[in-house]
Amino acid sequence: MATSAIGTSLVAVGSLHAADVPLAPPDKQPPDLKLPKPVKRKIGYAVVGLGQLAVEEVLPAFGSCESSKLVALVSGHADKAKQLAEVYDVPRGNIFNYDNYDEMASNREIDVVYNILPNSMHAEFTIRAFQAGKHVLCEKPMASNVAECEQMIAAAERAKRKLMIAYRLHYEPFNKKAIELCASEEVGPIKLITASNSQNVEAPNIRLSGELRGGPLGDVGIYCLNAARYLTQREPVEVFGYAHQPADDPRFREVPESVTFVLKFPGGAEAHCSCSFGAAESRFFRVEGKNGVVEMAGAFGYFGQELRLSNEDGSRRFKLKPVDHFAAEMDHFAECILRDKEPRTPGAEGLADMQIIAAIEESIRTGRSTKV
């Protein structure tokens, strides 16, 4: 029986006296200490091109990685690289530039080169990284054109190294859930997708340069295109594109302001997509299936996805734990290297988008729909 005498030294619970209950752990270790599991080996990354994406998103993301670590930087600006090397504890000897880039070959700490250069430089610096014996994670769009994509894939094969295109949405839970829903009876066969990805781009910006292969289609429209492919799990057979390039806005001397395109899939499903560099931020898709509708607000952003399913059972919003997209994709690639597996978004994924982009651009030129 429990007895108690508050204010005296005798407090007994069950058969145990309070004075017998140990307060501090006897060996000074918290009893519920959760030790992280040892990681076999972390994959070392060299980040190439220290611009907005690298500095604001990718470098901080290493802090959330389990299998990836930052070991080197490549930049045309030595002062910037030195400052970032101090912040991220990268040894001075692991700072490279575009001239001594190939010397990374003899640096054994570097397993992967993460290519975050302007689009027109993706092919050259990816191929040189393979020649230096490194694996490559390359930003989207994969390259300037289909021929370059094919050369990059061939270079990876020759070097026996892996190539992954940084389609971060394949590695985050909301888009993965949307893929699962679209394949289910709850949505049914997909009939129509509407997708849009727009933002205002101010000069100067690599996105406004024809020479650097900017333009809204490869930069933001590619998210709508890639989503249409991953949501349907199909490849379009025919496309139609239309571009708007205003003569009175100097930002759009070299690239269109906006591009609209339609993708026709086997079986009749269609995706209606639009993208712009002259409109307020808007990034969504809406999938209409025979049995239900999947909508995602903020679909293509770094965070803030809102996923909803509506069908005859009602409307449901999904609460999922968000992840850092860049940490998730870098760790996926690291795991592929450690376990010798094919990445979920290999070079072939980037090539497929580039072939469709080429067909959309042909349709824009000719004013006619184009077979893919």
Alpha-carbon distance of 245 to 200, in angstroms, equals: 14
Q: Which residue, 50 or 262, is less far from ligand NDP as judged by CB?
A: 50
Q: Which residue, 190 or 195, is less far from ligand NDP as judged by CB?
A: 195
Instruction: Assess 210 for contact with ligand NDP (CB under 6 A).
Output: no
Residue 366 token pair: 């000719």
Interaction pattern, residues 80-99, with ligand NDP; x per rule: CB under 6 A: x-------------------
DSSP assignment string, 210-274:
TTTT--HIIIIIHHHHHHHHHHHTS--SEEEEEEE--TT-GGGSSS-SEEEEEEE-TTS-EEEEE
Applying CB under 6 A, which part among 27-35, 51-59, 86-94, 285-293 lies near ligand NDP? 51-59
Listed in sequence order, the residues at least 6 apart from 253 whose beta carbon sits closer than 8 Å to its beta carbon are: none
Could you say which of 12, 51, 184, 316 contacts ligand NDP (CB under 6 A)? Answer: 51
Instruction: Assess 53 for contact with ligand NDP (CB under 6 A).
Output: yes
Closest-by-Cβ residue to ligand NDP is 51
Instruction: Assess 144 for contact with ligand NDP (CB under 6 A).
Output: no
Applying CB under 6 A, which part among 34-42, 110-118, 259-267, 308-316 lies near ligand NDP? 110-118
Instruction: Assess 169 for contact with ligand NDP (CB under 6 A).
Output: no
Instruction: Assess 50 for contact with ligand NDP (CB under 6 A).
Output: yes
Residue 256 token pair: 């269109």
Question: Could you say which of 42, 69, 134, 140 is catalytic?
Answer: 140
140 belongs to the catalytic site? yes
Applying CB under 6 A, which part among 111-119, 248-256, 265-273, 360-368 lies near ligand NDP? 111-119
Could you say which of 17, 77, 317, 365 contacts ligand NDP (CB under 6 A)? Answer: 77
Alpha-carbon distance of 315 to 346, in angstroms, equals: 35
Is the distance from CB of 369 to CB of 245 less than 8 angstroms?
no
Alpha-carbon distance of 263 to 254, in angstroms, equals: 25
Is the distance from CB of 268 to CB of 240 less than 8 angstroms?
no
Q: Which residue, 217 or 262, is less far from ligand NDP as judged by CB?
A: 217
Using a 10 angstrom Cβ sphere, with 0-12 exposed, 13-18 middle and 19 or more buried, the burial of residue 358 is middle
Could you say which of 140, 161, 162, 170 contacts ligand NDP (CB under 6 A)? Answer: 140
Could you say which of 111, 124, 172, 219 contacts ligand NDP (CB under 6 A)? Answer: 219
Instruction: Assess 190 for contact with ligand NDP (CB under 6 A).
Output: no
Question: Could you say which of 45, 101, 223, 230 is catalytic?
Answer: 223
Residue 212 token pair: 């650097």
Listed in sequence order, the residues at least 6 apart from 320 whose beta carbon sits closer than 8 Å to its beta carbon are: 173, 174, 177, 307
The residue count for binding ligand NDP (CB under 6 A) is 21
CB of 64 to ligand NDP, least distance (A): 16
Could you say which of 111, 124, 139, 270 contacts ligand NDP (CB under 6 A)? Answer: 139
Instruction: Assess 116 for contact with ligand NDP (CB under 6 A).
Output: yes
Using a 10 angstrom Cβ sphere, with 0-12 exposed, 13-18 middle and 19 or more buried, the burial of residue 111 is buried
Alpha-carbon distance of 254 to 186, in angstroms, equals: 45
Instruction: Assess 299 for contact with ligand NDP (CB under 6 A).
Output: no
Could you say which of 4, 52, 100, 366 contacts ligand NDP (CB under 6 A)? Answer: 52
DSSP assignment string, 99-125:
SSGGGGGG-TT--EEEE-S-GGGHHHH
Instruction: Assess 170 for contact with ligand NDP (CB under 6 A).
Output: no
Is the distance from CB of 228 to CB of 147 less than 8 angstroms?
no
Phi, psi dihedral angles at 281 (to 5 degrees) = -55, 125
Instruction: Assess 142 for contact with ligand NDP (CB under 6 A).
Output: no
* Site for ligand NDP, rule CB under 6 A: 49-54, 75-77, 80, 116-119, 139-140, 166, 168, 206, 212, 219
Catalytic residues: 140, 223
